[in-house]
Structure 1
Amino acid sequence: MTAANQPEHAVYPSLAGRKIIITGGGSGIGAALVQAFVAQQAQVFFLDIAAEASQALVASLQQAAVPPRFFPCNLMDLDALRSTFAEIGQIAGPIDVLINNAANDDRHKTEDVSPAYWDERIAVNLRHQFFCAQAVMPGMRSQQRGVILNFGSISWRLGLPDLTLYMTAKAGIEGMTRGLARDLGRDGIRVNAIIPGAIRTPRQTLLWHTPEEEAKILAAQCLPARVETHHVAALALFLASDSAAMCTGRDYHVDGGWLGA
């Protein structure tokens, strides 16, 4: 394993005991986020629709000082979203950090998009991020501090094929991040966007990242090594911690310097 692939996370004392909600935490980048924040001894609550993977993740972390807790939730169902956040609030009180990670990058042909599919894709990739932020705002305001990290994507900057609706949502996340940072900053709440590149996850490897595609990815990056989920988690830890106290309203890339082929 090369140095680029070795998980290395700084210890952030400010994260110990902090209450963290992570959406889409059961697998891929989300699972790496759960593992990283648990290692900081934060109180991690994560949401996902994939019960089996999520329960396996919880089981693997039972020996941690503060094991994570899993809440099944379909974030496209706004009533379920509000109910789940309220349940977590009753258990934990005000949330310190919200990580809006959940998304789905299914491919589609532009000519096949119906109004119903448009609404479904925006709901799964953009809408829930706003309403999750709305759900944690009162508690953060009561403490006069908080962190919201919204996950975008490099895809819309590259103009990738068969991803128009996903890229539309991901571009919107960056605008939403800027607006929330302005509106919430007076309450001590920081809002940033994390922009992953081509992250190597089981889903991406299974569906899209063939050996030929991987060669294209490496050729497009300044650094000729795959970006792993723990690289994304390392950035999230910093931005969630007090070490990033004056970082807000910005987009932070973790993409190996993807400048194009």
Structure 2
Amino acid sequence: MSGQFARYPSLVGRRVLVTGGASGIGAGIVEHFLDQGAHVGFLDLDATAAAALIARQPEGAAVEFRRVDLRDIPAVRAAIAELRDALGGGFTALVNNAARDDRHAIDEITPDYWDERMATNLRHQFFCAQAVKDDMIAAGGGSIVNMSSNSFLLGQGGMPAYTAAKSAVIGLTRALARDLGPHHIRANTVYPGWIMTERQLNLWMTPEADAKRAAGQCIPDRLHPADVARMVLWLAADDSALVTAQDFIVDGGWR
């Protein structure tokens, strides 16, 4: 469905940090913020996809990228500091988007693999928030958006470490909302449904799976990164100034 979508004056010039911004949902978020006139720094491991994303932007777009492994917290802190310098100031919006939904069976999981999945899908969300909170305090407020997933709500199997991490995002969000709220820093969770990224289409989309998805959703249309990005824009803008510690599900009503 096509339509006309909101413009947010408060996002013009706002410095935004996005993790996992080179492809998929993250790339959609980066591009939507840039279209609003925001200044965007993003982190990812995929430098090739990041370069392609930047090349697609209009000349003069305020976007900076740093390649980093989000499991390496000292490197993450250094990359955020570099992006802060490159964009000319502190971040007042953070989108913790990066994750990997690799499938894994219960009997295959080792303690090391479990810890790696937590580092990939949960731990960096806290440390990125920790790294930018002083920027937001100095600015008088800010917005943190943490990405969860509707997969654990659906009781989806085949990736217990992933769904455990994604459900833990909710508790993290609410703790951040409570602890940072006195500084007018908001924290909210977005749960994407099955978003039609290139990865999802290549790895898991089949006619049977698509039919099951359509039957499960109240609105059967396929979801795309833009559908998630528009929710994130509102949460980062001043329009949601008193919205915090809340959950927002973007999945077409899949129950």
TM-score, normalised with respect to structure 2: 0.97
Corresponding residue for residue 71 of structure 2: 76
1:156 alignment partner, SS class: coil
CA distance in 1, matches of 2:244, 2:135: 19
Mapping for residues 1-261 of structure 1, pairs under 5 Å = 3=1, 6=2, 8-63=4-59, 65-91=60-86, 92-259=88-255
Displacement of 1:8: 4.5
State the one-letter code of the partner of 1:177: T
| Residue pair 1:152, 1:173 contacting (<8 A) in 2 also | yes
1:160 alignment partner, SS class: coil
| Residue pair 1:227, 1:256 contacting (<8 A) in 2 also | yes
1:252 alignment partner, SS class: strand
Structure 1 residue runs of 5 or longer lacking an equivalent are none
CA distance in 2, matches of 1:162, 1:211: 19
How many pairs align? 254
State the one-letter code of the partner of 1:81: V
Displacement of 1:67: 3.6
TM-score, normalised with respect to structure 1: 0.95
CA distance in 2, matches of 1:197, 1:237: 17
CA distance in 1, matches of 2:188, 2:240: 10
Displacement of 1:258: 0.5
Identity, % of aligned pairs?
Answer: 47
| Residue pair 1:125, 1:169 contacting (<8 A) in 2 also | yes
Displacement of 1:7: 6.6
| Residue pair 1:61, 1:67 contacting (<8 A) in 2 also | no
State the one-letter code of the partner of 1:87: E
Structure 2 residue runs of 5 or longer lacking an equivalent are none
| Residue pair 2:17, 2:91 contacting (<8 A) in 1 also | yes
Q: CA RMSD in A?
A: 1.0
Displacement of 1:224: 1.1
Displacement of 1:87: 1.3
| Residue pair 1:8, 1:234 contacting (<8 A) in 2 also | no
